[in-house]
Structure 1
Amino acid sequence: MKPVLGVVTVVLLAVLSGCGYLGGNDGYFRDRGSDYQEVQVDPRISVPAGIESKPMGDLLPVPGQFETGSSNEKFELPRPQPMIVSADAAEYSLQQNGSVRWVQAQRSPTEVWPLVRNFWNDYNIAIATETPSLGELETGWVAFDLQPDNPLLRRILPAIGQGREVEGQELRFRLRVEPGVQGGSSEIFITHMSRSQGGSRSDWPDNSDNGNLERAVLAELETYLNQTPGGASITSLAAAQAGPGATLAKDGAGNPVLTMQSDYNRAWSAVGQALGQADIRIADLNRSAGVYYIDLAEAASRQDKPGFFGRLFGSDEESEEDTAQRSEVRLTAVGGSVQVTVDKSIDTAADPRVATDVLERIQSNLN
């Protein structure tokens, strides 16, 4: 009963004082946005003569020219200036976070794929296997002592490190192109492994055998991509894919199913971006369960948060009406593809018309 009495007390005080207790210039919740205009600038502290002191810079410097206004004036927060992207900025850059390194590309995976493929071909490094739909390729085994004139191997040789034997050793690389955090960008990762020439080692390690060598190859790739003409005639990744990227059909029960020819990680990222582009609000998500919880009653662009009094007198829990409007976009890995369905709950399918509409909007916004 104590929280209820506290709320009643606040309401009574607001009514008795004509809401002046809460709002207004003298109220408890008055607008303090213009208080900074009443602050006085004090003179700089001077150290008496004969006392040694270390020079100290201004921690909070005040601009040399500024306008003072009246405390009665309402301060209007200016809109932020648009971010300017320099035309001279590199389209590809080498990034590192701890021990993880990658090349950041300001292009989509479909544009990057043929370029990274040409990188290996131009340096005469044979491609053993490739899966364009997953954005992965593996090179064949190469040896420094058998290809001494190869320019790529010659430039990355110092990264092996002094005292490390390269005679009788061979190595190969695995490259992976993933969608970047920002739309229309990509991240390129490279892993390398080595073995004795003709050895039986074939399983890829979790991390590269030599981090310095991995960085050297990524640096070479970054330079190559930045020097590649943007208008070069290339074959896109979409054209290299076998079969359609996403097809909409019905299962045995007549429920719509969107099948994506992709691995789970790329499908999860692509569906999340497609929901945002389709202006479908994602209320919650559970990546381990492969579920996006969407709210079809409210668009993502019109999502409003409750104000102070809404949070004070309202409930933090969602209403039954909001919960009833929720649906689940579920991703399920099946073999080499991912199936996307729309359910009401884990054991209840959504209305076929609603599910079809959602899946069509996802399909039309897939990159």
Structure 2
Amino acid sequence: MSRLFPHSIIVLCLTALSACGTISAKLDEMGQDQRTDYKKSQTLPPLEVPPDLTSSTIDESLVVPDITPSGSATFSAYSGERNDPAAARGENVLPAQDTVRMEREGDKRWLVIKGEPAQIWPKVREFFIQSGFLIKQEDPKIGIMETDWMENRADIPKDPIRSVLSKVFDSLYSAATRDKFRVRLERGKEDGTTELYISHRGVEEVVKGTDTIWQSRPSDPELEVEMLNRLVVSFGMDEQKAKALLAQAAPERPRTALTRDAGGQTALTVEEDFSRAWRRTGLALDRVGFTVEDRDRSRGLYFVRYADPLKDEKKDAGFLSKLKFWGGKDDKAIAEQYLVSLISAESKTRIVILNKDGKPENSETSNRILALLEEQLK
């Protein structure tokens, strides 16, 4: 009987801990979508990026701000900046709940926020850090921020035993999916506004032989919407009002068509004006995973890098490739630069691919790029 006593104590402790964890979890879940749970996620080893999803070349250095813009830490300088009229007017204060609205086209949504991108950027960065993400890459100059891969613990299967153990040993189980988000900030069409886009990319762990590998999975528009909703709430908007914005009726999706001209160049025609086509093309590039190095709206150009995994397939299929014992299937395709050019044509927009010199690109790679965009824009 005495031998059972210590075991009984352990069982009672585990039960008590799991009960506390359950109550705490229920309180945390109130008012929150249970599709996502990144708060307790752990940093994971770097994932191998699929060959057609190149890593960004954006500068990953994080700039630590000075105590004052002049770099000084004197009381006089501090007092002077505290009494600055601009600060008193709250020009750098984050947007209030009545200064944010959501726009929608099909399954794509974005925020229009009153304020300059420089004002919005710190709040967005803080939001993702508070949500449990690490900032992998960021470049305020072109308005792009990308998180590191993160585990979504909401994807862990639930059962009574697993639930009890996970309350005590949180890292005992892990999900077979990882998510990352890319944020893009652009100056809005209206003066003094910023347009904010969030795109999702995901991978999943699959069994291959005796090992497991990570492979890409489709972007999830619902996760994008959920992150936008949480971001709006972090700006100060009432949660019910934020949900009402998400419930807006969706307009019809614009039609697209791939065509080929007499010179053999393939083009993607989108039946919408340049402004909308430009916005949706940028989001499509983010969703597919292109590295957007720069953009020039006045010229209608996105500067991107793309590694085509099929480009050298035919070359490697010959006899000599079988003798190439020093190379393997793990060789990655080289990311090359392309220009995605948007040309306004009355109420429509044509999208063509140019090489890095600005000349028409008529290769199979350019056709694949357009096909990927068409899949997102159709």
TM score, norm. by length of structure 2? 0.32
* Greater percentage in helix: 2
TM score, norm. by length of structure 1? 0.33
Considering Cα pairs closer than 8 Å and 6+ residues apart, tell me whether 1 or 2 has the greater RCO: 2
Bigger radius of gyration among the two: 1
